[in-house]
């Protein structure tokens, strides 16, 4: 079987480990608590970075993504990892979920839904969350990873773009995505409170919020000191749990249960 875990000895592997370690730690723990084979939907799962790793644990994963290129890469990754029978790609976006359920392509009693890096780009985040709730069984698990607006504020301030930082600080997630001044346009971003409120509005009971990449994007790269990558990874794992630090992490990872 090919090795799909980030290889921390290579520069790209080290960056990938820093991006995924905290989310993967949390997910693995949750998946271990599910008896038997979990049925998982990875909405916007792309090329399967998470989906294939989940399938390697023995679970059954359906990736729903609008990109045919991403789904082709997913198939190749699944074949390399020898999990073809446990990962399937379905072309569609968040708004297609109800139709996929009606057509019997996706079951309406999933154990887990992953939604990583997707609420930033969908047309209607609330609609997407409602559609995800509709495919989860009661008490099913939702894993959401979103960009943190406060991290973008810090990044712009450190780069000397003080007006942009102040504008972004005062923006709502929608303003930041669609109406912001020059320099604030881009994917939708959420503060911790906004992301938590959005999940609660759509019937999810929040379990945990972790910060992902609290320091990684702020330290100069590449890290050349021996052991520095490993030490930064250890620091990220510890910092992820500290609410004050998580509040300014590059991304927020939220785990919630369908109420
Ligand atoms: C930033 S990537 C995240 C990929 C993957 N979830 C991950 O964490 O590595 C965003 C993904 O969302 C997909 N996407 C874009 N618009 C979408 C939509 N409306 N519904 C579902 N997925 C969408 C893209 O094709 C892409 O694969």
Q: What is the pLDDT of residues 185-214, one digit of tens each?
A: 567 899 999 999 999 999 999 999 999 999
Q: Ligand 1 centroid vs 226 CA: distance in angstroms?
A: 35
Which residue, by CA, sits nearest to atom 25 of ligand 1? 67
Task: Report d(CA 50, CA 70) in Å as an integer.
Answer: 13
* Predicted model pTM: 0.91
**Mean pLDDT calculated for residue range 55-65:** 97
Pair of tokens at residue 64: 């729903």
d(C-alpha 84, C-alpha 52), whole Å: 9
Q: Calculate how far, in angstroms, residue 144's C-alpha sits from the geometric centre of ligand 1.
A: 12
The number of the ligand 1 atom at minimal distance from the alpha carbon of 123 is 19
CA of 132 to the centre of ligand 1 (A): 14
| 196 contacts 206 by C-beta, under 8 angstroms | yes
Q: Verify whether ligand 1 is closer than 6 Å to residue 43 (CB atom).
A: yes
Q: Is 92 in the pocket of ligand 1 (CB under 6 A)?
A: no
Give the per-residue pLDDT at 183. Answer: 46
71: Cβ–Cβ under 8 A, 6 or more apart, which residues? 63, 65, 89, 90, 91
Closest CA to 209 of 198, 201, 218, 217: 198
Average pLDDT of the residues in 147-174? 89
Mean pLDDT of the chain: 90
| Ligand 1 proximity of 122 Cβ (cutoff 6 Å) | yes
Percentage of the chain exceeding pLDDT 70:
89
Q: Is the CB of residue 61 below 6 angstroms from any atom belonging to ligand 1?
A: no
Nearest to 124 by CA among 201, 209, 204: 201
113 lines ligand 1 (CB under 6 A): no
Q: Which atom of ligand 1 is nearest to the CA of 121?
A: 16
Spell out the residues 6+ positions from residue 184 whose beta carbon is closer than 8 angstroms to its own.
Answer: 164, 167, 168, 171, 175, 176
Q: Determine the pLDDT at residue 17.
A: 81
d(C-alpha 100, C-alpha 3), whole Å: 32
Tally the C-alpha atoms within 13 A of residue 99's C-alpha that lie toward its C-beta: 8
């Amino acid at each position: 079987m090919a090795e799909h875990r980030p290889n921390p000895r290579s520069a790209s592997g080290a960056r990938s480990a820093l991006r995924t370690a905290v989310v993967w730690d949390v997910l693995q723990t949750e998946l271990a608590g599910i008896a038997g084979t979990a049925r998982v939907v990875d909405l916007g799962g792309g090329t399967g970075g998470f989906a294939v790793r989940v399938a390697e644990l023995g679970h059954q994963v359906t990736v729903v993504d609008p990109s045919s290129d991403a789904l082709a890469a997913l198939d190749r990754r699944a074949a390399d990892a020898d999990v073809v029978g446990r990962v399937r790609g379905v072309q569609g976006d968040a708004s297609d979920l109800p139709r996929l359920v009606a057509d019997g392509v996706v079951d309406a009693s999933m154990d887990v839904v992953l939604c990583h890096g997707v609420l930033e780009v969908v047309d209607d985040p609330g609609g997407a969350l409602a559609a995800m709730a509709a495919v989860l069984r009661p008490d099913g698990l939702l894993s959401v990873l979103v960009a943190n607006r406060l991290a973008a504020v810090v990044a712009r301030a450190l780069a000397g773009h003080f007006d942009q930082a102040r504008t972004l600080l005062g923006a709502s997630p929608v303003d930041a995505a669609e109406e912001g001044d020059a320099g604030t346009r881009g994917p939708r971003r959420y503060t911790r409170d906004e992301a938590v409120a959005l999940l609660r509005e759509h019937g999810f009971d929040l379990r945990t919020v972790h910060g992902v990449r609290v320091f990684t994007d702020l330290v100069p790269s590449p890290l050349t000191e021996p052991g520095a990558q490993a030490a930064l990874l250890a620091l990220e794992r510890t910092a992820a749990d500290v609410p004050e630090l998580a509040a300014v992490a590059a991304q927020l990872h939220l785990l919630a249960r369908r109420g």
